[in-house]
Structure 1
Amino acid sequence: MRLKYILNEVLVGLWRNVTMTVAMIITMSVSLAMLGASVLLFLQVDQMKSYYYGEIEVSVFLKNDITDTQRQAIDGAIAQSSLVKSRSYETKEQAFNRFKELWQDSPDFVKSIGPNSLPESFRVKLKNPEQYKQFADQIQSLQGIDQIIDQRTLLDKVFKIFNAIQVFALVVAGVMALAALLLVGNTIQVAAYSKRREVAVMKLVGASNWFIQSPFVLEAVVAGLIGSIIGFIALFLFKIVLLDHRLQALTSILTPIHNSNVWLMLPLLAGVGAVVSAITAWVTLRFYLKV
């Protein structure tokens, strides 16, 4: 009987303040969707770092006037280095063919580059990409080397952008979460005020604080769960519609976002939405309304 009464009061309370309930659900769904997106982005950046840093190569570009003796000396020095995992040599012709493949969608740009414009090079993969400086110090004094480029420096710039996007998404999610908390507290206050006479009667007949507060807390929890479901659906649709179709060319460059990772966001968002809503409602009732 008590459970039936509490559930009935929850439904009545949600419908009584329907406009504020809808506003609370929408705000909660947006904030939780942003939270889920920032968590997914955080996981994706870590996955991309593990993948791309494992594929990093050091490019040792050679001068145009390099001699066979100098080239053999450089090759021998690279082969003898204990820091090197593997190496490969790329001729000017191979470099030009790879360039044409990379820029096949820009034929005018390809025509502006001649077969001899790109230098020959050694592509070196280190056992530990962090040891680039030690490797460069070992060979940079050899004759015939034009420059040594570590791909990690380029990737670091890209990951700095992703890290900035991470921080921005978390800040937006935090602002939206604050707005949701204020709406939850305000909605609970209005609901409790509209039932102040019933609450007074229940206290006179000896009803416990838990029994009085539970319908209001459950109202917030239900709104939080609905908002989390809507936020998850929006997040999943964003992944399917945009990342998997409209922006497929971009995501093909990045490591793919697996659906399993997106599904992990559902219990996370539901848990956060329910717990945060329940705590906010309980604090509001305890410290503001003195129910």
Structure 2
Amino acid sequence: MRVKYVLNEVLVGLWRNVTMTIAMIITITVSLGMLGASVLMYLQVDRMKTFYYGEIEVSIFLVDNVSEGQITALEEKLKSNPLVKTATHETKQDALERFKVLYADSPDFVAAVNADSLPESFRVKLNNPEDYDKFNASLGDQQSQGIQRVIDQRELLQKVFNIFNSVQLMSLVFAVVMAGAAVLLVGNTIQVAAYSKRREVAVMKLVGASNWFVQAPFVLEAVVAGAIGAILGFVGLFIGKVVLLDNKLQALTAILTPVPNGNVWLMLPLLVGVGAVVSAATAWVTLRFYLKV
């Protein structure tokens, strides 16, 4: 009987302040949706680092007048280096073939380039990409070995990851701001509901109702609104993933690595848990201030 009464009061309370309830749910939806997006971004950046760092190469470009002896000596030096996983010599003709593949969509650009325009090089993979500084130091005097320039792809990727980290931080900050707005709105909604039922609460206390029995409908109102907002936020994330990343922006995900469905589904219990707990805590604290029980 008590459970039935509490559930009935929850439904009545949500309907009594329907406009504020809708506003609260929308605010929670946006804030938790942003939170879920920032968490997904964090997971995706880590996933991308793991994938791309395994493909990172160090490019050693050689001068145009490099001798065969210099090339042979450098190749032996690279293959005997304990920091090196693989070292591949790329001739000018090999570089041209790679160039044709990379810019196959721009035939006029490809036609304007010949083998002599491209440098001879070595493509080196390190056992640990983080050891680039040690590897670069182990090369010694680069000019005497016919080395024109050494490029670490990790530096280029790090700039990209810095951009993603900034986007991740911005989305997280926005989510926190929206969460603050949701907390204030939940507190205000519960305060209005408690004020509208102040006489009923007073009567219930006079007849010996316990604190939890009086507070339960208000707290559950907030929990239900938080859970609904979390589910809607998850639905928005999932639709965005399917409609945008899996279709319209599919070419982009091929570069940034696809977002696994498992990571998206992981957001559902996370968002529902956060939404329910934060809403319940906000309602309980509000009741302690505005409802004398």
- 1:284 corresponds to: 286
- 1:76 corresponds to: 76
- 2:19 corresponds to: 19
For the residues of structure 2 that align with 1:25 and 1:36, how far apart are their CA atoms? 16
1:166 to 128, 149, 168: 168
After TM superposition, the structure 1 stretch with the greater mean CA deviation from structure 2, 217-226 or 82-91, is 82-91
- 1:223 corresponds to: 225
Cα drift, residue 16 of structure 1 = 0.4
For the residues of structure 2 that align with 1:26 and 1:40, how far apart are their CA atoms? 21
For the residues of structure 2 that align with 1:113 and 1:277, how far apart are their CA atoms? 63
Cα drift, residue 94 of structure 1 = 1.6
Cα drift, residue 140 of structure 1 = 4.5
| 1:56-115 deviations in Å (ceiling 9; x for gaps) | 111111111111111111111111111111111111122122122112223333334333
Runs of 4+ in 1 over 6 A off after TM superposition: none
Identity of aligned pairs, percent? 69
For the residues of structure 1 that align with 2:196 and 2:218, how far apart are their CA atoms? 12
- Residue 116 of structure 1 aligns to a residue whose secondary structure is helix
| Aligned pairs for 1:104-123 within 5 A | 104-123=104-123
Return the letter of the residue paired with 1:204: L
For the residues of structure 1 that align with 2:162 and 2:193, how far apart are their CA atoms? 46
Structure 2 length-normalised TM: 0.97
Question: Is there any run of 5+ residues in structure 2 with no aligned partner, and where?
Answer: none
- Residue 60 of structure 1 aligns to a residue whose secondary structure is strand
For the residues of structure 2 that align with 1:109 and 1:18, how far apart are their CA atoms? 62
- 1:202 corresponds to: 204
Count of paired positions: 291
Return the letter of the residue paired with 1:245: N
CA RMSD of aligned residues (A): 1.1
Contact 2:194 2:290 (C-alpha < 8 Å) held by counterparts: no
For the residues of structure 1 that align with 2:173 and 2:112, how far apart are their CA atoms? 45
Return the letter of the residue paired with 2:49: K
- 2:66 corresponds to: 66
For the residues of structure 2 that align with 1:113 and 1:30, how far apart are their CA atoms? 51
Question: Is there any run of 5+ residues in structure 1 with no aligned partner, and where?
Answer: none
- Residue 145 of structure 2 aligns to a residue whose secondary structure is coil
For the residues of structure 1 that align with 2:112 and 2:18, how far apart are their CA atoms? 65
